[in-house]
Amino acid sequence: MRTRSLRAWLGMGLRGLLAWVLWSAPFYGAWAACPAALAQQDLTACTQIQAPPGGSAGLRWQRIELHSEATLTRWLDARVPDAIHLELWRASTGQAPHRERVLGAHSLYADRPLPGPRLLLPLELTPGPHTLWLGYRLHGDGVLTPQLLSPERERALRSQSDLLNGALAGGLLALGLGVLCVRLFGGSSAYLAYALLLVCELMLVTQTEGYAFAWLWPESPGWNQIAPQVFALATLAAHVLLALRFLQLRQRHPLLWRAHMGLSALIGVALMGLGQPWSEPLTLVLGLSYAPLALGSAVLAWRDRLPGAPLYALGVFALALGGIVPFALGVVGLNPLPFDHFVYPRIGLFLEASFFSAALINRMRQQQADLADQRLRRLAEAEDLLQAESQRRAALDLAQQQGLRLAGASHDISQPLSSLRFAIAALQRSATEAQSPITQHLDHTLSYAQTLLSDLIQQTRTELPLRSDHLELGPWLRTLAQAHQAQAQAKGLTLRVAPCSAEIEASQLILARILNNLISNALRYTQRGGVLVGVRRRPGGLEIQVLDSGPGLLPAQIERLQRPFERGSNEHPGHGLGLFIVKSLCAQNGYRFTVRSRLGRGSLFAVTVDTVSE
């Protein structure tokens, strides 16, 4: 059933992509005939794929026929931040074609004729016809869609673009800082992966919009040529990492986890092959192939009712169909809408960041609700345990009182019977031979009655329930610690019990509850070293100690952690009730609970029990 649903989703996506391509065909046909209609500039332009005499081979060429009615200054906007190679040839009436501008992969930013994040070529047009040849080679073998603008119009468009890019960069930075704050206060690793994704996307936008070359490395044209591919692969790798963490693919869908890991390996191959002819096509294929993989993974997580999965799926869908697919179509000349295809990545990134942030917030709220429920259940369990122990102690007290009353009554009855024995002994000394059998019978009867009462008192003394259990601390502590060995081994810690021959009278249930909490807490917050459980003799009792080699605590932390729902660190799972339960149980049973700690040296948690026997 799940496979059929996934196929339906993929089928819908492919049909939508096909419809988009077919819908964009009219725009592509118009572009092929005449890529830049410039009538509003008092110019006419048409394009042909034809190189001028002497033009460089291996380039895509556009021939533009212009006719100016007056002397004009125009800027030819290439609408790309850079190019591997760009040549501008020109011929006016009665002139042979000559090369006006050439920019190569090794041209510095200062070599550009006009400053700006995009390639701009100035043109001084006199009245009459002009022929321009624009030869180029772009990354990914893309198609150029130039535009001829007046300087005023170009500056207005640049201001609008700068404003939009600034808003996008500010939004990404704000989201990144917010996510990092959540991660510092105990968020999962998915928050860190999302922050990394935002950083990579910010760098990708800065590079693809041309700001990086202008501001960051204007004298490194070689790096500027490969930087878009590097940031694109880094963004893709951050996407994969976020999907692995947020969608929990390794636990829920091992097959999809392996697919993502294989994609990660191919990303590494593309990075190692930077500058090779096959590296850029591989990067484009990886980006396009990740879209259906990410969509399929998100849909399956949605079906599994994973918190935040619907919003995550919407984010992937928005990025794929609102950014990646139309931008790729624009690169190859199939722009689905009649405006700059560099707008699509910004739209896709904005929608993706918004949906992903909402998904993380949804996940965090759900986790907080689950944690609150767990805390309430843990507190209820602690209250139930205390109530059960209180009832047990009350029953023991009642049984003891009843036994003592019965023993007291037996003792009181035995007193007059002893007096009767003395009287019968006196009668036997003065009795006649005929009265002797009667006195002997009375003596035997009283002896029997006294024996019954003595046995009843002895039985009451033997069967009377005790308040405490008799514990041999050495074997009992080793058995208790054995239940925590798996937790210690999982963290590479040692858990030892010091040899002990002491015996103690105490409630086994309560003492086990106290020590289980202390040992579990010590193992949870200790990163190196281990935990030692031992017993020391103190005046009036025995002190059972749990020592760890953890980070240690400040005095204020010791007091705070003994309050309910207070945790030592948000990096470790827990409910903040362990030490509160220990303190409460010790107070109710007359035990003394103490904590001693030094920062960087570890902590000691001790429970002192007064009733001691050798």
Residue type, 276: Q
Q: 232: part of which helix (H) or strand (E)? A: helix 221-246
- Residue extents of the structural domains in the chain: 2-15+160-374, 34-149, 397-463, 469-613
**Spatial separation of the C-alpha atoms in residues 490 and 593, rounded to whole Å:** 29
Structure tokens at 229: 């591919």
Predicted pLDDT at 256: 92
Inter-residue contact 563 to 580 (CB < 8 Å): yes
Q: Which residues contact residue 268 at a Cβ distance below 8 angstroms, ignoring those fewer than 6 apart?
A: none
Predicted pLDDT at 183: 63
SS3 letters across 268-311 = HHHHHCCCCCCHHHHHHHHHHHHHHHHHHHHHHHHHCCCCCHHH
Go through the chain and tell me how many residues it has: 614
Please list the rounded mean pLDDT of every run of 10 residues in the chain (614 residues): 47 47 37 38 49 83 84 88 91 84 91 91 88 86 83 89 84 76 66 85 88 92 92 92 90 91 94 88 87 89 88 86 76 68 78 83 79 82 80 74 60 60 67 66 66 60 57 89 87 90 84 87 87 89 90 79 63 60 82 86 89 49
Q: What is the pLDDT of residues 447-469, one digit of tens each?
A: 666 666 665 665 555 454 445 67
Structure tokens at 448: 């029997």
Predicted pLDDT at 459: 55
Q: What is the pLDDT of residues 373-389, one digit of tens each?
A: 888 888 888 788 878 77
Query: Where do we find the tokens 């950014």?
Result: 323
Structure tokens at 179: 């996510």
Between the CA atoms of 603, 607, 613 and 614, what dihedral angle is there, to the nearest 10 degrees?
Answer: -10
Query: Where do we find the tokens 């709220």?
Result: 365
3-state secondary structure of 510: helix
Does the domain made of 469-613 have the CATH classification 3.30.565.10?
Answer: yes
Short-list 188, 102, 602, 609, CA closest to 368 = 188
**Spatial separation of the C-alpha atoms in residues 295 and 256, rounded to whole Å:** 11
**Spatial separation of the C-alpha atoms in residues 306 and 163, rounded to whole Å:** 37
3-state secondary structure of 532: strand
Predicted pLDDT at 406: 62
Pairing of strands 530-538, 541-548: antiparallel
**Spatial separation of the C-alpha atoms in residues 104 and 137, rounded to whole Å:** 10
Short-list 74, 156, 161, CA closest to 122 = 74
Q: Which residues contact residue 363 at a Cβ distance below 8 angstroms, ignoring those fewer than 6 apart?
A: 188, 190, 246, 307, 308
Inter-residue contact 417 to 453 (CB < 8 Å): yes
Between the CA atoms of 352, 356, 357 and 358, what dihedral angle is there, to the nearest 10 degrees?
Answer: 110
**Spatial separation of the C-alpha atoms in residues 534 and 538, rounded to whole Å:** 13
Predicted pLDDT at 103: 93
Q: Which residues contact residue 539 at a Cβ distance below 8 angstroms, ignoring those fewer than 6 apart?
A: none
3-state secondary structure of 118: coil
Q: What is the pLDDT of residues 267-325, one digit of tens each?
A: 999 999 988 888 888 988 898 888 889 889 988 988 988 888 888 888 888 888 777 77
**Spatial separation of the C-alpha atoms in residues 134 and 60, rounded to whole Å:** 8
Region of 54 please: left (phi>0), alpha (psi -120 to 50) or beta: left
Query: Where do we find the tokens 């070689």?
Result: 222
Inter-residue contact 118 to 162 (CB < 8 Å): no
Does the domain made of 34-149 have the CATH classification 2.60.40?
Answer: yes
Structure tokens at 541: 């009792």
**Spatial separation of the C-alpha atoms in residues 228 and 212, rounded to whole Å:** 10
Residue 308 DSSP code: T
Question: Any idea what the Cα angle at residue 512 is, between residues 507 and 518, rounded to 5°?
Answer: 130
Pairing of strands 47-48, 120-125: unpaired
Measured in whole angstroms, how far is the alpha carbon of residue 110 from the centre of its chain?
Answer: 44
Q: Is the dihedral of CA 502, 505, 507, 509 positive or negative?
A: positive
**Spatial separation of the C-alpha atoms in residues 62 and 199, rounded to whole Å:** 37
**Spatial separation of the C-alpha atoms in residues 148 and 75, rounded to whole Å:** 6
**Spatial separation of the C-alpha atoms in residues 163 and 171, rounded to whole Å:** 12
Per CATH, 34-149 and 469-613 having the same topology is answered no
Predicted pLDDT at 29: 34
Q: How many CB atoms lie within 10 A of CB 338?
A: 10
**CA end-to-end span of the chain:** 69
Residue 321 DSSP code: I
Q: Which residues contact residue 537 at a Cβ distance below 8 angstroms, ignoring those fewer than 6 apart?
A: 502, 543
Q: Which residues contact residue 490 at a Cβ distance below 8 angstroms, ignoring those fewer than 6 apart?
A: none
3-state secondary structure of 531: strand
Q: The sheet that has 85-92: what strands, in order across it?
A: 47-48, 60-68, 128-137, 85-92, 98-104
Q: Which residues of 249-261 are buried (b: 16+ CB within 10 A; e: fewer)?
A: beeebeebbebbe
Q: Kindly write down the DSSP assignment for every residue of 393-406, as one continuous string.
A: HHHHHHHHHHHHHH
Q: Which residues contact residue 311 at a Cβ distance below 8 angstroms, ignoring those fewer than 6 apart?
A: 355, 356, 358, 359, 362
Pairing of strands 494-497, 503-506: unpaired
Query: Where do we find the tokens 């405490």?
Result: 468
Pairing of strands 494-497, 530-538: parallel
Residue type, 78: A
Predicted pLDDT at 41: 43
3-state secondary structure of 596: strand
Question: Any idea what the Cα angle at residue 70 is, between residues 67 and 75, rounded to 5°?
Answer: 70
Q: The sheet that has 592-598: what strands, in order across it?
A: 494-497, 530-538, 541-548, 602-609, 592-598
